[in-house]
A = this chain, B = another copy of it.
Amino acid sequence: MDYLNIGLIGYGVVGQGVVKVLKSRRKFLREKYETDFVIKTLCDRSIAKKTNPGLDHTLLTTDYQAILKDPNIHVVVELIGGLSPAKEIVISALRAKKHVVTANKALIAEYGLELFKEAEANGCSILFESSVGAGIPIIRTITEGMAGNKFNGVYGIINGTCNYILTAMSKNKLTFAQALKEAQEKGYAESNPTLDISGMDAAYKLAILTFITMGKFVNVKDIYVEGINHISHDDIEFAESLDLSICLLAIAKKIGNKLDVRVHPTMIPKEHGLATVNGVDNAIFVDSDPLGDVFIEGQGAGQMTAAMGVVADLINLGIRDDAPASIWAFNPADEVENLSLRKIEEVETNFYIRFMVIDKPGVLASITTVLGQHNISIASFSQKQENKGSTVPVVILTHKANEHEVKLALEEITNLAVVKGKPVAIRMEKL
Contact = CB atoms under 8 A, between A and B. Distances in A.
Interface in A305-338: 305, 307-308, 311-312, 314-316, 319-323, 327, 330-333, 335
B137 A316 contact: no
A144 B140 contact: yes
A171 to B, nearest CB: 13
A71 to B, nearest CB: 24
Contact of A332 (B32, B271, B304, B327): B32
Interface string A11-35: 0000000000100010111011110
A296 B136 CA distance: 10
A216 to B, nearest CB: 14
A146 B32 contact: no
A299 B291 contact: yes
A63 B136 CA distance: 44
A144 B147 contact: no
Interface string A286-308: 00001111111111000011011
Contact of A295 (B27, B297, B311, B316): B297
Contacts of A295: 295-298
B31 A332 contact: yes
Interface string A254-295: 000000000000000001010010000000000000111111
A311 B144 contact: no
Nearest to A329: B32
B308 A319 contact: no
A53 interface: no
Contact of A323 (B129, B292, B320): B320
Contacts of A331: 32
Nearest to A137: B145
A305 B314 CA distance: 30
A146 B321 CA distance: 18
Contact of A28 (B291, B307, B335): B335
Interface string A132-143: 000111001100
A148 B327 contact: no
B304 A291 contact: yes
Contacts of A291: 135, 298-299, 304-305, 308
A308 B34 CA distance: 30
A374 interface: no
A149 interface: yes
A304 B290 contact: yes
Contacts of A327: 32-34, 319
A292 B319 contact: no
B273 A297 contact: yes
B296 A294 contact: yes
A416 to B, nearest CB: 43
A33 B290 CA distance: 18
Contacts of A297: 273, 294-296
B149 A308 contact: yes
A150 interface: yes
Specify which of A148, A271, A290 lies most central, judged by the most chain B CB atoms within 10 Å of its CB: A148
Interface string A111-140: 000000000000000000100000111001
A294 B135 contact: yes
Nearest to A28: B332
Contacts of A141: 137, 140-141, 145, 296
Most chain-B CB neighbours within 10 Å: which of A147, A276, A307, A314?
A147
A276 B271 CA distance: 9
15 contacts: A27-B332, A31-B333, A135-B292, A140-B140, A141-B296, A145-B145, A145-B312, A149-B308, A273-B273, A290-B305, A290-B308, A291-B299, A291-B308, A292-B305, A320-B322
Q: Which 7 A-B pairs have the closest CB atoms?
A: A137-B145, A31-B332, A290-B304, A148-B311, A147-B315, A294-B298, A140-B145
